[in-house]
Chain A
Amino acid sequence: MSLTEAHDPTASATTFSEHPVPLTRLSRNEVETLCLKAARGAGMPWGLAEEAGFAAGWLAARGIDGPAALLAHLAARPAGGGALTISGRIWAAQDGRALCPITAGASLDDHAGLPEGVSAAPVMVGALRHPVLAVPHLARIAKAINAAIEIGWNGEKAYISADGEVDPAQLTALSKLQEAQVVLVTCRAEHKIAPPAPDMCPLSAETLAGLNALSLRTTVPASETSRRGAGAMVSDND
């Protein structure tokens, strides 16, 4: 690469080179940004991709490998899929397949204070892919409506406190689910859960590579024109 090209000194993005280490600790900002781009690269509209970034960052900040769950979800996400329909208390995908947890989580959040939402009455969400990815939005709902929310699946339960935290063991149990029907019920705020210690879940080399590959789909290959136009045309040795 010649150094006499146009000058464009500022990078906007973290480039994750192939690290020889098996695990890399990203900041929350890095997780959110990378996951936003990956979700967009996988075909989500920008506004939902932002929600995906939020969800993955929220989970990673709680020691849960949300980025890996998101990658698994994005890798198998059907194109154009995820359209929701609400009938009575049942939320399900229009095409009858399992729901995108980002779409479902964001929409549940949008409906939080409305009659269709969880604050009005229990909601059953028909098969949900990677249910843990919907938890960050449910936590945001709990905070917003100042009520605890109970997530039930296969006879098991997880409890989101009214300040939007989940018991780590229950969150871990949720993170193991590939797909489940869940029932959401608001309940009395019984106990508080301490916010997490500020430490991020490190990412495996595979997760990082997978998310990077998806995020690269949002980029445009360079052309000679764009390279030329990117900056000043003079030497920096002055």
Chain B
Amino acid sequence: MNRMLPQPTGDLARFRRSPDQVMTLARMGAAHPTRLSFLRQLLRRMESEGWRFDRPLWDINAKGVGRAVYRAIGPVRTYSLVAFAHDLPDEMRSDRVIATAWDATFALFDGNPTPEDIARLEANVPLQEAGRITPHELSLSRANRSVRLFAHVVDRLAQGEQPDPAEVAAVGYLMRTTAVYGAGKFGAADRSIIADRPEMAAPFQAEMLSVWLTRQFTTDLVEHLAASRGGERAARLDPATRRSLGVGNSTGLGMAPFLVRHPALMNNWMRAREEALARVRALPTADADSLQSLNAALAEARRNAGLWQSEHPIQVAKLKDLDADLDLIANKLTNWPRTSPYPWDDLWHWGEVTLTLEGQEALLSLMLEPHGKLIDDLGPTMSADEAIAARIDGAMTVETLRRLIREHFRWALDIDFRDSANDARFWYVSEEKLEPRLGERHSEDGAELEQPLCIARLVQELHIALQGEDGDTTVAAFLMRDPGQRYAARRVQIAEGHPFAEVRDNLIGKDMLPIDLMRCKLAFFGASRFDPRSDKWVRISMFQDMPYPDEMAGRNR
């Protein structure tokens, strides 16, 4: 049925949040997945386009060793997850990058792999970083079992019983991926090769597809092992239990700098989400359908919060905030909407003065949920055509560059880096693992090899370097004399037109929490159950409570 869709009224500008408000570490570290999150976009598209899924190869023995292929068949193209299952002794199981063996390894193949393709992948994919893949592959990944839950599920199913719901809830997944590499890593296809395909237009769609098919593989594998062991007696997972299982993911400090290294991309993620919120806030009505949908989303959020566990003190406090805030929202909805020109905006303002950051960002996610028709078109705008060195506008004058700094980097100029607490850390790449780490500037060596991730300080230095310059000087002439400022000048020029390009916080401060950056990125992926194991390392779950390929509408049609 096509009912008339309420449209936002008035100038959206007054409903938009400012980058100063949105881009703080504390708020980014309270981000929740929304319907614009990348895995939600993937599932919506596959459902609406009637994608089909099958498993043309399942060659796995009773020990769980072998290979399998899962296909996702879209209206134009087919993508295949090629999976290799291994027999990994416990003492070799590590989520760390130093690991050299995993319980399972995967590549997402672009098309239908031939036996020769599978043989080629079998020689490389199990090696992960030590192997090479080709432009026929879109991602490379690996996963380790959740030892406890995996064994428990196989045991129970083999005996013809279902797993203990408490055990399932405590972990939430059978395997966790420890890295999902895409976009040209290890020889895979560059982003540019797939960027103009509609189904790959939104960010990370290949990676999301790979993880979603991996989830199917994990449940197939436990059922296969249970059947091998229990024979006729073995049970299959009941659909509700199966639904509650996602794919876990372990992620470390390596992910944290991503958002800083991709300013235009981060801007587009943030801008789409903020535009969605503004559109909803500008709606003149809250009709019965959207009210019902909002309440359903709230019920789901409360259920999810109840299952969300962490032992990390920071996350424990945040979960407490979230629980209390969801109660407040539930209470608020009993007498909302009142007669008002902008009921959703009223709800938002109420949240801003009443809720913690956790609750405010959860409210954002809830408010977007009923409004797919209004906001889902923003999904594909979240990509960015990023070049490694965006072109500098050399004709810009120094005066204009200074104005851009004042407009977009006030927050950066306000940080006092002479205070040793404010430059306490430095980002570097470790020689032994080639991965980002954080050092203590005042007690460790290596600060001279600092990565350019503290944009605030770099822009401050640029600002000082510009002070002696004549305002009419061109940026081209300035950079010819002072090429060391080229990096910061580029960032400042990117900020014009990309107001959400920068984390507006000190990324080298004493109390900076890398997990705040990770939570923001993972929320955009659509990850749930954010569970820090330290301030630099987290586990999360993906696709929990979402359909499986065989449950998608369009299957076998």
Contact = CB atoms under 8 A, between A and B. Distances in A.
Contacts of A27: 135, 184-185, 187-190
B394 interface: yes
A29 to B, nearest CB: 3
A1 interface: yes
B359 interface: no
A15 B387 CA distance: 22
Interface stretch (A146-154, A165-173, A176-184, A220-228): A220-228
A5 to B, nearest CB: 8
A219 B445 CA distance: 12
A236 interface: yes
A222 B536 CA distance: 17
Given A46-B452, A220-B431, A11 B254 contact: yes
A28 B429 CA distance: 21
A79 interface: no
Given A27-B185, A226-B430, A12 B436 contact: yes
A64 to B, nearest CB: 17
B172 to A, nearest CB: 13
A119 to B, nearest CB: 11
Interface in B405-459: 428-440, 443-446, 449, 452
Contacts of B186: 14, 30
Contacts of A223: 444-446
Given A25-B187, A232-B534, A3 B96 contact: yes
Contacts of B189: 27
A10 B97 contact: yes
Interface in A32-49: 32-33, 36, 45-48
Given A9-B95, A50-B388, A144-B391, A219 B489 contact: no
A219 to B, nearest CB: 4
Contacts of B257: 12
A236 B150 CA distance: 13
B400 interface: no
Interface of B is mostly: mixed
B219 interface: no
Contacts of B99: 3
Given A47-B483, A47-B490, A218-B429, A10 B534 contact: no
A15 B129 contact: yes
Interface stretch (A69-77, A106-114, A124-132, A155-163): A106-114
A229 interface: yes
Contacts of A96: none
B431 A222 contact: yes
B67 to A, nearest CB: 24
Given A110-B480, A230-B536, A231-B536, A14 B252 contact: no
Interface centre among B92, B97, B445 (most CB of A within 10 A): B97
Interface in B146-204: 146-148, 178-179, 183-193
A204 B174 CA distance: 42
B134 interface: yes
Given A3-B96, A11-B97, A231-B96, A113 B395 contact: yes
Interface string B461-477: 00000000000001110
A9 B480 CA distance: 41
B319 interface: no
B147 A238 contact: yes
Interface residues of B, number: 83
Contacts of A26: 187
Contacts of A5: 96
B430 A110 contact: no
A84 B32 CA distance: 50
B290 interface: no
A53 interface: yes
Given A7-B250, A216-B431, A238-B147, A232 B533 contact: yes
A9 B178 contact: yes
Nearest to A41: B449
Given A45-B487, A221-B431, A233-B534, A110 B476 contact: yes
Contact of A222 (B92, B134, B432, B480): B432
A8 B187 CA distance: 23
Contact of B486 (A8, A28, A45, A238): A45
A107 B187 contact: no
Nearest to A28: B190
B487 A219 contact: no
B378 interface: no
A66 interface: no
A87 interface: no
Interface string A90-121: 00000000000001001101111110110000
A45 B135 contact: no
Given A9-B178, A28-B190, A220 B428 contact: yes
Nearest to A113: B395
A109 B387 CA distance: 15
Contacts of B235: none
Q: By CB atoms of chain B within 10 A, which of A12, A25, A83, A233 has the most?
A: A12
A27 B434 CA distance: 18
B260 interface: no
B184 A236 contact: no
A231 B431 contact: no
A11 B434 contact: yes
A198 B428 contact: no
Given A10-B253, A27-B184, A110 B475 contact: yes
Nearest to A5: B96
Contacts of B188: 27
A140 interface: yes
A13 B435 contact: yes
B144 interface: yes
Nearest to A21: B132
B537 interface: yes
Given A24-B132, A110-B479, A231 B388 contact: no
A32 B185 contact: no
A140 B484 CA distance: 22
B250 A9 contact: yes
A111 B184 CA distance: 32
Pairs of residues from A and B, 6 with the lowest C-beta to C-beta distance, nearest first? A47-B486, A29-B184, A110-B394, A232-B533, A10-B254, A27-B184
11 contacts: A11-B434, A13-B429, A27-B190, A29-B190, A47-B489, A51-B389, A107-B479, A114-B476, A140-B391, A220-B445, A222-B432
Given A198-B190, A223-B444, 9 more contacts: A7-B250, A14-B186, A15-B434, A30-B184, A46-B486, A50-B486, A114-B474, A229-B438, A230-B437
Interface of A: 1, 3, 5, 7-15, 17, 19, 24-30, 32-33, 36, 45-48, 50-51, 53-54, 57, 82-84, 86, 103, 106-107, 109-114, 116-117, 140, 144, 198, 216, 218-223, 225-226, 229-234, 236-238
